[in-house]
Amino acid sequence: MAIQAPPEEVQVATKPLLQVQGLTMSYGVSDSENKILNDLNLEVNDGEFVSIVGPSGVGKTTLLRCLSGLIQPKSGTVSVGGEVINGPHRDLAVVFQDYSRSLMPWMTTLENVAFPLQGRGVGKKERNEAAEKNLAAVGLAGQGHKYPWEMSGGMQQRVAIARALAYNARVLLMDEPFASVDAQTRFDLEDLVIDLQSTLGVTIILVTHDIDEALYLADKVIVLAEKPATVVDLIETGFGDHRDQVETKADPRFVEARARILHRLRDH
Amino acid sequence: MTDTALRSKPNLDTASRPRTSKREGGRSRSAQLALNVLERTWLIVVVFTVWWAVSAGSSNVFIPSLESILVSLGRDLSNGVIASGATYSLTNLAAGLLIAVAVGIIVGLILGETKRLREIVDPVIHFFRSVPQAALVPLIIGAFGIGQGPKIYTIAFACMWPVLLNTIDGVLGVEPTIRKFSKVYRIPRGLHFRKVVLPAALPQIVAGVRVALPIGITVMVVSELFAANKGLGFYILNSSATFMVPETWAGALLVGVIGYILSLLFVVLERRILSWYFKSGAK
């Protein structure tokens, strides 16, 4: 346990923004029951960047679907801002893994980004302005007239991120968001997300199977393993706001944390 | 470094995509068009030439020469006999198709979205769509009378099935990730139907309408073979009953031509409505 101890909690009094208590999830019934998640507990504070890392098939996506309200857990609760959710919630936005499938090809990128706001009853002018602003925030200023299929994969994922930002939720859930882009684009997108997080102060929970990515992005890494999945480790990275793809990944703390996670995953 | 990557990538993309497609289209467009027209018409020209030659001087009463068919067609076109009949028939067709499309899409969207309802109604749908529609014409007209209304209903009834079934299929084929998106972002039901499900299913729906079109034309003619005193079907029936065989042929030929023209118009309409679908390469 050589990893830096969490900096002595000063904000002990503040309630976590997102709280998961005793979350258990299984598919099927009684004897053929397949338990995926077992008594999971998580806390994510306002403005925090948390990655959830674990091997493929451990139940990360199931966890995220519970968090986003897409499925109801067998037992346990997910609450946002102290309110227990029982379905999709206004303060939870999701960036899906499949950018090419989550954007609607019959809408321009601007319409795609503005659409959830339309669903909330925001007027046309206002929602288009919000969409423009968020497209600019992800580096796609003035590209709103294009259709998603006129864009590269990386750009499409930027649009998906802009859409989530425009929704103005307090928590952004990202499900393996960079799994299907090439390495260089992936680094660009990672840095973009770090930038956005520090400038906009949005709370992010990102699910990934990539240990490096989990460590590089997050303030806190939650390691899931075993079957059914439980939290086997929790690491505070402590890299602060400034991160660099080369420097940070060579940082001794980074290397040590990676080794620790690898051990954890291997032991289970 | 991140910054340059951010900016250079979009530029690269704009440069490569739309411009090349424009250039390709520009240079050889007219030549390409001429070639396309030629490719699509040569066979028709050959068929008609052969028909003309073989049927010339035919002594069989039931197979008149193409020349006499065209002469009758020209005469009845110019004296307005066909025009009034065609107007009547095409009005019925348009009204019938419109009803079929509206009902097919609305019912299809509802059935596609509600699994339980679909399972209940499914056998009924497959029963009715398997019934030969033309066979129902005398029944419907017998039940509802000989006016224009029953003819329109018959066309609508026959055309509705392909639209309905394709709409259901299209709704079931909506990308699951887009459904998840719509749920997570709490898109209200009405907006979800109009802006998510309907456009996603539209390629399938349009394909259904394309299938419905020739069915509609057939039923349009058949509906006028019973208890009618107007329309293209009546023209065909009447001329046949009075042994004006060239007119019978002329009527059938005209219906074929109308069907062809309508299918061409439909392709134009399809390209319009589904431009995103064709351009995105989804097809």
ipTM of the complex: 0.88
**Cβ-Cβ contacts under 8 Å, B191 against chain A:** 118-119
pLDDT at residue B1 greater than cutoff 80 = no
Shortest CA gap A133–chain B (Å): 16
Q: What is the mean pLDDT of residues A60-81?
A: 89
Q: Which of B80-84, B167-171, B206-210, B259-263 has the lowest mean pLDDT?
A: B80-84
**A162 touching chain B per CB within 8 A:** no
Which of A92, A101, A143 has its CB closest to that of B177? A101
CB contact under 8 A, B276 and A90: no
pLDDT at residue B16 greater than cutoff 80 = no
Give the pLDDT confidence score for residue A105 in this predicted structure.
94
pLDDT at residue B40 greater than cutoff 60 = yes
Which of B10, B178, B202 has its CB closest to that of A140? B10
Which of B6, B9, B180 has its CB closest to that of A70? B180
Residue B270 burial (CB count, 10 A): 18
Which of A69, A93, A116 has its CB closest to that of B187? A116
Question: What percentage of residues in chain B have a pLDDT greater than 70?
Answer: 90
**Cβ-Cβ contacts under 8 Å, A107 against chain B:** 195
Give the pLDDT confidence score for residue A49 in this predicted structure.
93
Q: Which helix (H) or strand (E) holds A27?
A: strand A18-27
What gap in Å lies between CA A65 and CA A37, rounded to an integer?
Answer: 12
pLDDT digits (tens, 9 = 90+) for B57-75: 888 888 899 899 999 999 9
Q: What is the mean pLDDT of residues A79-88?
A: 89
CB contact under 8 A, B187 and A184: no
Give the pLDDT confidence score for residue B102 in this predicted structure.
97
**Cβ-Cβ contacts under 8 Å, B2 against chain A:** 187-188, 191-192, 195
Per-residue pLDDT band for A3 (boundaries 50, 70, 90) equals: low
What gap in Å lies between CA A112 and CA A4, rounded to an integer?
Answer: 42
Give the pLDDT confidence score for residue A247 in this predicted structure.
82
Q: What is the mean pLDDT of residues A130-141?
A: 93
CA closest to A148 among chain B residues: B280
Pairing status of strand A92-95 against strand A171-175: parallel
Whether the link from the prior residue into B64 is cis, omega within 30° of 0, is no
What gap in Å lies between CA A85 and CA B39, rounded to an integer?
Answer: 62
pLDDT at residue B4 greater than cutoff 90 = no
Residue B151 burial (CB count, 10 A): 32
pLDDT digits (tens, 9 = 90+) for A209-231: 899 999 999 999 999 887 788 88
Give the pLDDT confidence score for residue B185 in this predicted structure.
95
CB contact under 8 A, B277 and A70: no
Shortest CA gap A88–chain B (Å): 5
Q: Which of A72-76, A100-104, A162-166, A247-251 has the lowest mean pLDDT?
A: A247-251
CA closest to A195 among chain B residues: B2
What gap in Å lies between CA B206 and CA B274, rounded to an integer?
Answer: 9
CB contact under 8 A, B184 and A191: no
Highest mean pLDDT: which range of A18-27, B64-73, B98-107: B98-107
CB contact under 8 A, A96 and B177: yes
Q: What is the mean pLDDT of residues B78-89?
A: 89
Give the pLDDT confidence score for residue B152 in this predicted structure.
92
pLDDT at residue B2 greater than cutoff 60 = no
Pairing status of strand A34-44 against strand A230-236: unpaired
Shortest CA gap B116–chain A (Å): 20
Buried b (16+ CB within 10 A) or exposed e, A228-253: bbbbbbebebebeeebebeebeebeb
Which of A94, A151, A188 has its CB closest to that of B5? A188
**Mean per-residue pLDDT over chain A, rounded:** 86
pLDDT at residue B14 greater than cutoff 50 = no
What gap in Å lies between CA B119 and CA B129, rounded to an integer?
Answer: 16
CB contact under 8 A, A68 and B2: no
β-sheet bridge partners, residue A206: A51, A174
Supply the DSSP symbol for A16: P
Q: What is the mean pLDDT of residues B147-156?
A: 90
Q: Which of A62, A106, A185, A186 to mutate to test the interface with B (most CBs of B within 10 A)?
A: A106
CB contact under 8 A, B184 and A69: yes
**A153 touching chain B per CB within 8 A:** no
**Cβ-Cβ contacts under 8 Å, B176 against chain A:** 101
Per-residue pLDDT band for A205 (boundaries 50, 70, 90) equals: very high
**Cβ-Cβ contacts under 8 Å, A105 against chain B:** 276-277, 280, 282
Shortest CA gap B279–chain A (Å): 9
CA closest to A87 among chain B residues: B184
Q: What is the mean pLDDT of residues A80-104?
A: 89
More confident residue, A230 or A150: A150
Highest mean pLDDT: which range of B70-79, B99-108, B141-150, B272-281: B99-108
A17 contacts: CB under 8 Å, gap ≥ 6: A44, A45, A46, A48, A80, A81, A170, A171, A203
